[in-house]
Amino acid sequence: MIAGQVAKRYSQALFEVAKEQNLLDQVENDLKLFVETLKNTEEFQIFLTHPQIGGEVKKNMVSNIFADSISWVAKNFLQVLIDGGRENTVEEILQGYSKLANEARGVAALTAISAKPLTEEEKQQLEQLYKQRLNKVVKLENVVDPTILGGLIVRIGDRVYDGSLIKKLKTVKKSLVASRV
């Protein structure tokens, strides 16, 4: 089974339990905390993914580190991941879980990629525009990528709206090359 399918199944199972327990937001925040800790602490990452360290040792370490800072649902879920040797998929599981939780909340996650940081006013305008188009609450994340030169790329789920300057330049180049022939 491919890693993406595994993560999708784990995401779905965790989502169902968290929804049943009315802990959607808490579990999402717990997983975010775990992933951030994993990303920011190289030693913890090495420890957790080391094949010669037993599952019980890993589970005890996770329980000690996150003793009072995460919910019992998240803690049990991490234990299950470790038992299954799937601790390396937790970031992908978080992405799938967040997508399911946002759908349940009626929230659309929108990523706006721009050459420079968007102002608060620009963010509000984008949120309003897509709130009206999607008829959902919009959660906006601004990612800065200077390589797009200008304009904006908007990603909502699997849809991408590319209004970047680099794409427009490529389109012009393509039409110029095609007109030479």
What mean pLDDT is predicted for residues 44-63? 92
- The Cα–Cα gap between 117 and 113 comes to 9
In CATH, what number does 106-180 get? 3.40.30
Give CA 1 to chain center in angstroms: 22
Which pLDDT band holds residue 178 (cuts at 50, 70, 90)? Answer: confident
Q: Which is nearest to 139 in space by CA: 116, 122, 114, 156?
A: 156
99-132 pLDDT, tens digit per residue, is 999 989 989 889 999 999 999 999 999 999 999 9
- The Cα–Cα gap between 36 and 31 comes to 8
Locate 66 and state its tokens.
């996150």
Residue 80 in this model has a pLDDT that exceeds 50: yes
- Domains of the chain, by residue range, sit at 3-102, 106-180
Reported as type and span, the H/E element at residue 162 is: strand 159-164
Task: Tell if the pTM clears 0.85, that is, is over it.
Answer: no
Pick 10 or 49 by higher pLDDT: 10
Model pLDDT, residue 3: 65
Q: Describe the strand order of the beta sheet including 107-114 as a list of residue ranges.
A: 137-144, 107-114, 151-156, 159-164
- The Cα–Cα gap between 134 and 126 comes to 12
Residue 181 in this model has a pLDDT that exceeds 90: no
CATH class of 3-102: mainly alpha
The percentage of residues in the chain with a pLDDT greater than 70, rounded to a whole number, is: 98
What mean pLDDT is predicted for residues 48-62? 92
